[in-house]
Amino acid sequence: MPRWWRRKPRWTWSIVTSAPKGEPGRAWGDTYFAEDLAEALRELDQDVSVVSRAGAGAAARETDDVVLVLRGLRRVHPRRGNATWLLWVISHPELVDADEPRDFDAVFAASESWSARVPVTPLLQATNPRTFHPQEPRTPWSGRVLFVGNTRGEFRPIVRDAVAVGAEPMVYGSGWEGLIPEHLWAGEFLPHAQLPLAYTSARVVLNDHWRDMAEQGFLSNRLFDAVAAGAAVVSDRATGLTDVFGSSVRTYRDAEDLGRLLGPNGGLPTTSERREAAERIALQHSFRDRAEVLLSRVNELRGVDD
């Protein structure tokens, strides 16, 4: 039988997220991230389940060939057996213990610059182009400055600055009562199914990062989704952001700079520039692309020719 005819193995995967179990976890971006990745792996003929952090202890079932831990807020300790364990640090690198990466067979990081005491393969966050792609704008988001995110216990600087310069941002998320004028708060939750249309309809989508993530090059998943949707995006600065997004994402220094960008002569990307950027991000930064990298490493670790 020719070599090209040989069927690649169909591994059984568990993807462990940091989201809580049940309905509360449905509001976490990590859940949608994991499900999009699982879908991409299934397209590569893999058998994949998504497991919440509450189920992480049972993740290494005897039937699992691969356990992929999406590292967020909490550490997961591998249970040794026949499974290949992968760690993908997608957020909060400051919470990763120094000895943690050594517990895994391979380590990936959503940063081109983060390093640990073991070899780390850069693997940036991604988007699902089937979900996030340019569409015809619709109300209530059309023409608005949009921010989607919780307060995280602080008056997030990009929202604070947008309010200060009179940009009237439309804000979704929890904890904003008393921080922004009531008429700017659109609700605690924007359903994920509406997010692509909201991004593509908005005049500008605002983005920011945790400070540690910005400094260490962990680019927000919102950047990939919003740019893939054809949005004009303004963000705080982050290591490596321009290398990935070029001029399709504008960054700002302070409130005055943000006011200029959000003003009528801010020089935001044109419609054609945004569509070109959307096509590039869809091509280079899809979950399918990430799934192929992960599967290739698993095949290598398990002694299968790729």
**CATH of residue 188:** 3.40.50.2000
The reply to whether 275 and 291 lie within a common domain is no
Mean pLDDT of the chain: 91
Taking 70 as the pLDDT cut, the residues of the chain under it are 1-7, 19-27, 54-62, 306
Question: Partners of 286 in the beta sheet?
Answer: 127
What pLDDT digit, counting tens, does each position of 115-170 carry? Answer: 887 899 999 999 999 999 999 999 999 999 999 999 988 999 999 999 999 999 99
**In the prediction, which pLDDT does 305 show?**
77
CATH number at residue 15: 3.40.50.2300
232-259 in b/e form (b: 16+ CB < 10 A) is: bbbbbebbbbeebbeebbbbbeebebbb
The reply to whether 268 and 292 lie within a common domain is no
24 falls within a domain = yes
**In the prediction, which pLDDT does 77 show?**
87
Structural domain total, the chain? 2
CA dist list (Å): 42 to 14, 34, 46, 198, 257: 12, 12, 5, 28, 44
The reply to whether 270 and 292 lie within a common domain is no
132 falls within a domain = no
The reply to whether 279 and 149 lie within a common domain is yes
What pLDDT digit, counting tens, does each position of 236-262 carry? Answer: 999 999 999 999 999 999 999 999 999
**In the prediction, which pLDDT does 227 show?**
98
The reply to whether 292 and 272 lie within a common domain is no
The reply to whether 151 and 200 lie within a common domain is yes
Q: Which residues contact 227 (CB under 8 A, 6 or more apart)?
A: 127, 233, 245, 248, 249, 274, 277, 278, 281
- CA 200 to chain CA centroid, nearest Å: 17
Supply the range of the domain harboring residue 255: 145-284
